[in-house]
Amino acid sequence: MGLRYYGFLGRHNRMKTTVIVPMRSGSKGIKNKNIKEFLGLPLYFWTVKKLYHLFKQGVVTKVIISSDSDWYLEKVKISFSLLFGENLILSKRLPELSTDFATTEEVCLNIIYKYGIYDGILGIVEVTSPLIPVDSLSLMFSSLNENIDSSFIVYEDIGQFWKCKQPRYEWEKQYNNRKMRQEEDSPLYREVGAWAIKVKKFMEEKNRIVHPVFPIVIPKELGISINDLEEFEYAEILMKDNSSQIFKNCGLYE
């Protein structure tokens, strides 16, 4: 399963890269999802582990864990503070940025101003997408240059899509004419838990995606986003089956 890349890839950028990892508590689908044991380790471990590898490689400059929970921040501190040193920042969110209505963009803007991050690259990586390959994250961060302003991870999906409207559980099809399977040649691409954008562009647009973009396509099974217990358990199976690809050139526990 090879990765497919779209857009123009220039030389490795030399911009400083600050990655924000959102870890709000209060998950409705799974209690304390972000710190729930995933293959024997907290769910956040697998994402921060990849970022530590990229930090050692010089791809990532600094990692900021953003949470409304002192408990969450303390757990990350115990796990990673000695490895990152001062390049790991544990940032407590303001109460108004800890509600269900606060957007990730609002949280990131607050962090930018709080820590004076006015240049370089801003990364956003969610711990609920633990199967994104470390090589894909590396390419995403490295792809921004004079020609590319933002990058993000996606996976391809083809089919007859439906939308379920809540809370009345109303189903609505998202296509006009049903096609034969062999005629389904117009795939859709779903964003998957990781974005990178030039800081100045983010401050101007207040959006994590701006053009020109560089989407990076990964296999669908590695793009799972965990929202409920069934997806959590399925993701554990996929991690066992694909760990060599996910952590290629990056030992699991090194």
Per-residue pLDDT, 209:
95
Asked whether the predicted pLDDT for residue 105 surpasses 80, the reply is yes
214, part of any domain? yes
113, part of any domain? yes
Ramachandran bin of 141, using left for φ above 0, alpha for ψ from -120 to 50, beta for the remaining angles: alpha
Per-residue pLDDT, 204:
95
Alpha-carbon span 178 to 22, nearest angstrom: 39
Q: What is the mean pLDDT of residues 49-70?
A: 95
pLDDT tens-place string over residues 239-248: 999 998 899 8
pTM of the model: 0.86
Q: What is the mean pLDDT of the chain?
A: 87
178, part of any domain? no
Buried b (16+ CB within 10 A) or exposed e, 69-99: beebbebbeebbeeebeeebbbbebeeebbe
Apex CA 62: angle with CA 130 and CA 2, to 5°? 40
How many domains does the chain contain in total? 1
Strands in the chain per DSSP E: 4-5, 17-22, 37-38, 41-42, 62-67, 88-92, 121-125, 150-157, 162-165, 170-173, 188-198, 213-218
Asked whether the predicted pLDDT for residue 5 surpasses 60, the reply is no
Q: What's the domain range around 218?
A: 4-155+189-246
Q: Is 142 helix (H, G, I), strand (E, B) or coil?
A: helix
pLDDT tens-place string over residues 184-204: 567 788 999 999 999 999 999
Per-residue pLDDT, 3:
44
107, part of any domain? yes
Asked if 18 and 117 count as a contact pair (C-beta separation under 8 A), the reply is: yes
